[in-house]
Amino acid sequence: MGMLWIISNRLPFSVHLQKDTITLKPSVGGLATGLQSVRESQPFQWVGWPGIAREKLSEKEWKTLQEQFHAKDAVPVPLSQEDIDLYYHGYANETLWPLSHYFLEKTKQRPETWDAYKAVNLRFFEVIKHHLQPHDTVWVHDYQLMLLPGLLRDAFPSLKIGYFHHIPFPSFELFRLLVQQKALLNGLLGADLIGFHTYDYVRHFMSCVTRILQLDRQLFTLPYQQRRITVDAFPMGIDVSNFQVGQNQIKKSSYKIILSIDRLDYSKGIPERLLGYESFLANHPEFHGKVNLKLIVAPSREHMDSYDQLKVLIEQKVAEINGKYGSQSWMPIWYLYQSFPQDDLMPLYQSADVMLVTPLRDGMNLVAKEYIAARQDGKGVLILSQTAGASQELSEALLVNPKDTTAIGQAIFDALTLPEVERKRRHQAMMKRITRANVHYWTTSFLHRLQQHTHDHDPFSNTTFASPDTMIAAWNKSKKPLFIFDYDGTLHPLQPRPDDAIPTPKLYQMLDILLRRYQASIAIVSGRDGKQLKSWFGHLPLYLAGNHGRTLRFPDGHEEKMGSSLPWKKDVLRILQQYMDQMPGSLIEEKAGGIAFHYRQCEPDMVAIRKGDILHTLETLKSRTPMQIMLGHKVIEVKDPTIHKGIAVEKITAHSLPDFTLVAGDDQTDEAMFSTLVDAHSIHVGSGKSYAKYHVDNVEAFFTLLNVLFQKESANH
């Protein structure tokens, strides 16, 4: 394996500029700690912004900085103050951050910040591309760089790309409000492996790609542009051993300590937490003079309006509570607006009887896990918000709705009065979990999954990847080739409405090459109506099998009809009509040989519920009258059971007597062709199990394959 590249908005170092000297100090973060455990087996380089605006450094200083970073296996990305203002404070923190934390009213969508976001993602790409080798591995981090996987994929098809999203992925209802929803999703889909903290975020992401990009998911896999992308939950852990030092130095306090530590952020629910504490004080005067809330707020994103306003609000509320409940000898809240190095958090964690972590939304929240690790005696109690990702692993905490201030007050009381045995029982269970799922486990399991990823393997397919090599010898020898194509999903990408799938100039050109250059016979065998096929291809000497072979037009123009009358048609139509009324987005296509019920445009969860019901109703009818029910791509077809594509291709091959047959299709209905033409070069377009021998991923890939065959000299030579 080649080099591993970690790419994040910030490099894990702070730059100190004093007169002529530049010094770099490592800043400890979860990711940097986790990576220590892989460094020996896997060398890596880190790419990111060094934390200082480019214009603050002369050309010479920038060069020195680059060299110093180079010595630490890091590559700095130059960003100007304007880049930072528009990309970081702008699109990342004024659009993506509030939306992802469900603060719609704070979400701004400004074209200039989006332009900067695109430009900076491109800048990261430009910096890294000079260092990359095709078989390297790249791990991109977080919402500031959602476009980067796509940029990397376009330039380096064989690169292994992982992406981890550290914040919540919002539900479809919110994500769909982003003007750039498609670009962001397509950007992420450049990755091979996309990780989130929880299954809820995986579910939200999957629901966005299935609805917005109309991709078909298979469990945790997405087939996309000839690749398969894995999406899964990797809950981030901490380095537990880092938090288990200095236990003996805890100063005993005469108060019961309630601790709260956050970055200044509206997502952290600090005002609500203060109201919760106030509710506790109001309801429990017996605790006055006996408790103390240590409220530590680390400065963050200063000079952004909403953050400045929040700071004022917190200060007012702290003053109000201290003024109302405090006395000359007791202050209910100690408030500190400053950040501490992580080592200094330790004694705070260790002396806290209650840890109050009540964010309104939080991707994970490592502070909650750090408290559990630090409070080794098991006597502390964690109060944790249900809407923090960490709550899914730390279910023994006292879980609260962070908006319910009365419940927060009650939980504080419960925590302070919880018997020691119960505190220890809960602590032990959580400790066990965070020790096992620590940050080293997180890093290695993500990287291991990424390394396992291969670019040409479809875990759901029993077919092999169709390469021209598999058929080139037979094709080169052939004098009478026959090409049999399904239409929708094979010669034309599937469209939301069947009427929109009009043949492209590229398709006509391909047919022309086959007919003229190679004098090939061509058959289009489709579920579409024969009339429709004739309107598109009637001017060409092709076999046109409509309605799965109910009608067959030969190249010389003569036609044959097969099949019987459809006694069930009226009943099926009536049933499907009822479902159509209940399923917005569905439509019924009436054909000579049957009825198709399309649901491509329907809400996927609704389809999951209704589909079984529709099939059951149709099956009941089928027990009384001969009909065939087939499942296609987002379509249920009811048709004459005596007609299928297998019969059509038998007729066609018997008529054209080919010495080389290539047959391609994407749908369930095409399986009859594959199983009938056992000696043909059969190609399944798409993913999943098939009777075909080979597969390609999509229509584009199928055309690429045909183009390689077209390198053969013309049949006239």
Task: Write out the residues near ligand GDG by the rule CB under 6 A.
Answer: 30, 166-167, 236, 261-263, 298, 339-340, 342, 345, 362-367, 370
Closest separation in Å from C-beta 400 to ligand GDG:
17
> Percent helix, strand and coil across the chain, each rounded to 5?
45, 20, 35
Nearer to ligand GDG, 310 or 364 (CB): 364
Tell the burial category of 280 from Cβ atoms under 10 Å away from its Cβ (0-12, 13-18, 19+).
Answer: buried
Q: Where does residue 306 rank: exposed (0-12), middle (13-18), buried (19+ CB within 10 A)?
A: middle
- CB nearer to ligand GDG: give 313 or 602: 313
Least separation in angstroms between residue 268's CB and ligand GDG is 8
User: Which residue among 136, 239, 486, 670 is the active-site one?
Assistant: 486
- Dig out the tokens for 653 from the structure: 């091959």
Element spanning 36, H or E: helix 30-39
> How far lies 677's CA from each of 522, 544, 603, 658, 661, in Å?
15, 18, 37, 12, 9
Query: Which CB, 119 or 336, lies closer to ligand GDG?
Result: 336
Q: Which two tokens stand for residue 129?
A: 């591309």
Q: Is the distance from CB of 199 to CB of 233 less than 8 angstroms? A: yes
Nearer residue to ligand GDG within complex by CB, 31 or 206: 31
State in angstroms the smallest separation of the CB of 359 from ligand GDG.
8
What is d(CA 296, CA 313) in angstroms, rounded to the nearest whole number? 15
- Residue 229's CB is within 10 A of a number of other CB atoms, namely 24
Q: 3-state secondary structure string, 495-531?
A: CCCHHHCCCCHHHHHHHHHHHHHCCCEEEEECCCCHH
* Least distance CB 391 / ligand GDG (angstroms): 12
Which of 129, 152, 133 minimizes the C-alpha distance to 1?
133
- Output 206 or 345, the one with its CB closest to ligand GDG: 345
CB of 101 to ligand GDG, least distance (A): 8
* Pick from 72, 177, 192: nearest CA to 139: 192
Alpha-carbon distance of 712 to 511, in angstroms, equals: 15
The SS3 call for residue 281 is helix
Closer CB to ligand GDG, 125 or 335, in the complex:
335
- Please report the DSSP string for 375-421 in residue order: -TTS--EEEEETTBGGGGT-TTSEEE-TT-HHHHHHHHHHHHH--HH
8-state DSSP, 488: B
Question: Based on CB atoms, which residue is closest to ligand GDG, 341 or 505?
Answer: 341
Nearer to ligand GDG, 310 or 647 (CB): 310
Rounded to whole angstroms, what are the CA distances from 689 to 57, 615, 695? 58, 21, 10
Compute the least distance from the CB of residue 126 to ligand GDG, in Å. Answer: 26
73 catalytic residue (yes or no): no
Min separation Cβ 252 and ligand GDG, Å: 24
CB of 566 to ligand GDG, least distance (A): 58
**Extended beta strands in 11-92, E state:** 13-18, 21-26, 44-49, 74-76
Rounded Cα gap, residues 539 and 498, in angstroms: 22
Spatial CA neighbour of 630 closest among 650, 646, 654: 646
Least distance to ligand GDG, CB of residue 196, Å? 10
Helix (H) or strand (E) holding 115, with range, is: helix 111-129
The smaller minimum CB distance to ligand GDG, of residues 436 and 516, is found at: 436
Catalytic positions: 486
